[in-house]
Structure 1
Amino acid sequence: LALMSFLAGGHAPGRGKYGDSISRGLRYMLACVKENGYINDNGSRMYSHAFATLLLAEVYGMTRRRDVRDALQRAITVIVDSQNAEGGWRYQLFARESDMSITVCQVMALRSARNVGITVPRSTITRAENYVKQSSVHGGSRRRPRHYGGLEGGGAFRYQLRGNSRATFPLTAAGVTTLYAAGNYESRLIEPALEYLRSQLGHFNNQYGREGHYFFYYGHYYAVQAFFTAGGSHWRSYFTTMRRELLRNQRADGSWPCSCGPGTAFSTAVATLILQIPYQYLPIFQR
């Protein structure tokens, strides 16, 4: 995420003000790629694998480096091969069940890789898309979800398919972003989900924003992509609110607070990514 933030600002490996920092970070990332293609160095499992794969795809699109392509190809194979029967992914490789928060990361990595010429089976995307559709409270399972950290609404997406799995602002943003990344821009589930996000934005920010909870940054990492792709009044209203919220919360040293979760490197990377989305320097963040 930190490297993605530099790239989103128009910098590249070996070029620009932060080119050397990006090059060093990329060397570390490539060193973390295991022989089988799995990328993991800190226990975050398929989360870290997906974010690292997304980075490699964006870097490959900029540089066309053979070593980056080789690592990217192997990492994509891991994602494709580990998709489970539900159509999604979970924390561990080859898990039997899925969740929305892990699935969205994988689909974004697959989309980015496909954008730069890496073969991704259409069936993998279709199965992931169907999983997301089933996760919709509006169009999928009719079981009543738990609205953890939010208000009730018919357009939400849930964490998992089973039981009364929770439906939240971050998971709903992830659901919309996954549909868009799968190439589905016309689903009847999208508009109700965007309305759900709009209705909860103030509540979510008040609950998690000021203290810098990691839910705040995680949720808006996907919300900004959902609203930006939707465009129009959805985007204008959202970004006006979020730009004001983020600039108000920035500390004097340039960082953003993270009272719960991975720390200020994470929160600052996500905050700067959100603010730089309109630049559209990275293909994955383009309309």
Structure 2
Amino acid sequence: MLVDSTWAQFPTAQMGEVVPRDVREVYEKGLKYLANSQSEEGDWKSGQTGPGITGMAVMAFLASGEDPNFGIYSGNIRRGLRSVLSSQDKTTGIYGGSQGHTSMYNHGFAMLAVAEAYGAVDDSDLWSGGSGSTGSNDSPLTLGHSLELAVRGAVTSQKKNRFGGWRYGPDAKDADTSVSGAVMVGLLAARNAGIEVPDEAIDRGVAYFKSMTSPSGQVAYSGVGGYDDSIPRMSIGALVYAVSRRKDMPEFKATLGALTNRLEATTSHYLRYGQYYQAQALFQGDVEAWEKWNKQLIRELKADQQEDGSFTGSLGKSADTSMALLAMALNFRFLPIYER
């Protein structure tokens, strides 16, 4: 799904008054918080940190419909992307290094952000006024080159994994559906942007999710069994099936059905993370269900937004604010990954 000319328009120019006033007001207040809390280096340092969190914030700016090259947040977008690209190991292709509990989370979300920026952000202006350092080499990376390296890194990691998924580190031998969802959506976004992604990688990833999905639509975390009513995991499963164009699979219908039967339910852990994925899964699978749920989401986020424009949750203000805004961003329909 390649970016089209609507990128340069304000959201309401495309959607008219379909974009609710509350959405626009909450979203703009949230973007101001992210703009004001971004560091000089281009990242965010409140709560969870890393290129994945930076990528989430960048996507929140991109999703607003402001021109990413000349709009009021274009400087924030460029600084954020420079930070993400500078974190990439040019040998492995992994964003943020290969160590730590959140390594492949960071890689998946950063890869998604670069894929969404690719084709929309002018590479020729990306490094102007910023450091050209990109870690292991001196020459700055373009978005396309960085994305190709990121795909290679994700595929190499998957080949080491007997489950066909991913876990915390790129050399992990086990897998879980949360990390695997982040990487799979990043790979699918890269493919949508025109980057070559091997069919085998997508097929193995889908097969892993199939093995973790129960007939009732519950999605296990890791290992064997352990099914429960986790809204985030059911949403991740449904989204992976939908974006990989596997809507004919019984597992997609099961996960979507489980979600639509629980529209009133909320997740007690990682609330914003759950909202981020549930919004996309419902929109991809059942627009009428999404519209009903979206009205509820808007009310909740309007009530939850802090005076400074931020949102609180389990991951820290930067991550939780970015995910809350991205859950609302389907009202704008600007990011390519949000297309149906």
Task: Tell me, yes or no, if structure 1 residue 90 matches structure 2 residue 167.
Answer: yes
Residue from 71, 81, 85 that aligns with 2:146: 71
Task: Tell me, yes or no, if structure 1 residue 116 matches structure 2 residue 193.
Answer: yes
Give 2:21's aligned residue. Answer: none
**Residue 61 of structure 1: CA displacement?**
2.4
Identical aligned residues as a percent:
32
Give 2:50's aligned residue. Answer: none
Task: Tell me, yes or no, if structure 1 residue 135 matches structure 2 residue 212.
Answer: yes
**Residue 204 of structure 1: CA displacement?**
1.9
**Residue 10 of structure 1: CA displacement?**
1.6
- CA pair 109-12 structure 1, distance change in 2 beyond 3 A: farther
CA distance in 1, matches of 2:114, 2:66: 15
**Residue 88 of structure 1: CA displacement?**
0.9
Residue from 78, 95, 98 that aligns with 1:39: 95
SS state of the match for residue 241, structure 1? helix
CA contact (8 A) 2:218 2:228 kept: no
Matched residue type, 2:153: V
Matched residue type, 2:59: M
Unaligned segments of structure 2, at least 5 residues:
1-55, 124-140
Task: Tell me, yes or no, if structure 1 residue 17 matches structure 2 residue 72.
Answer: yes
Matches within 5 A, 1:236-255: 236-255=291-310
CA distance in 1, matches of 2:336, 2:104: 22
Matched residue type, 2:320: S
Matches within 5 A, 1:227-242: 227-242=282-297
CA distance in 2, matches of 1:104, 1:45: 14
Q: Deviations over 1:160-185 (max 9, x none)?
A: 24253655111111110111121212
Task: Tell me, yes or no, if structure 1 residue 2 matches structure 2 residue 57.
Answer: yes
Matched residue type, 2:105: Y
- CA pair 60-173 structure 1, distance change in 2 beyond 3 A: same
CA distance in 2, matches of 1:249, 1:18: 24
- CA pair 161-181 structure 1, distance change in 2 beyond 3 A: farther
Matched residue type, 1:57: A
CA distance in 1, matches of 2:67, 2:57: 13
CA distance in 2, matches of 1:243, 1:101: 25
CA contact (8 A) 2:69 2:122 kept: no
Matches within 5 A, 1:157-172: 157-164=219-226, 166=228, 168-172=230-234
SS state of the match for residue 168, structure 2? coil
**Residue 237 of structure 1: CA displacement?**
1.7
CA distance in 2, matches of 1:165, 1:95: 22
Greater alpha carbon shift after TM alignment, 72-81 vs 224-233: 224-233
Task: Tell me, yes or no, if structure 1 residue 263 matches structure 2 residue 316.
Answer: yes
Unaligned segments of structure 1, at least 5 residues:
139-153
Matched residue type, 1:278: N
Greater alpha carbon shift after TM alignment, 155-164 vs 86-95: 155-164
Q: Give the 4+ runs in structure 1 shifted more than 6 A.
A: none
Give 1:180's aligned residue. Answer: 242
Give 2:12's aligned residue. Answer: none
CA contact (8 A) 2:184 2:202 kept: yes
CA distance in 2, matches of 1:12, 1:26: 15
Matched residue type, 1:172: M
CA distance in 2, matches of 1:187, 1:235: 20
Give 2:11's aligned residue. Answer: none
CA distance in 1, matches of 2:157, 2:291: 38
**Residue 131 of structure 1: CA displacement?**
0.9
Residue from 277, 280, 287 that aligns with 2:330: 277
Give 2:41's aligned residue. Answer: none
Residue from 268, 272, 275 that aligns with 1:220: 275
TM-score by length of 2: 0.73
SS state of the match for residue 248, structure 2? coil
Give 2:155's aligned residue. Answer: 80
CA distance in 2, matches of 1:130, 1:12: 38
- CA pair 283-35 structure 1, distance change in 2 beyond 3 A: same
CA distance in 2, matches of 1:68, 1:155: 37
CA contact (8 A) 1:156 1:196 kept: yes
Alignment size in residue pairs? 263
Taking only aligned residues, the RMSD between alpha carbons, in angstroms, comes to 1.9
CA contact (8 A) 1:225 1:285 kept: yes
CA distance in 1, matches of 2:74, 2:122: 16
CA contact (8 A) 2:212 2:224 kept: no
Larger RCO (CA under 8 A, 6+ residues apart): 2
Matched residue type, 1:77: R
Greater alpha carbon shift after TM alignment, 119-128 vs 62-71: 62-71
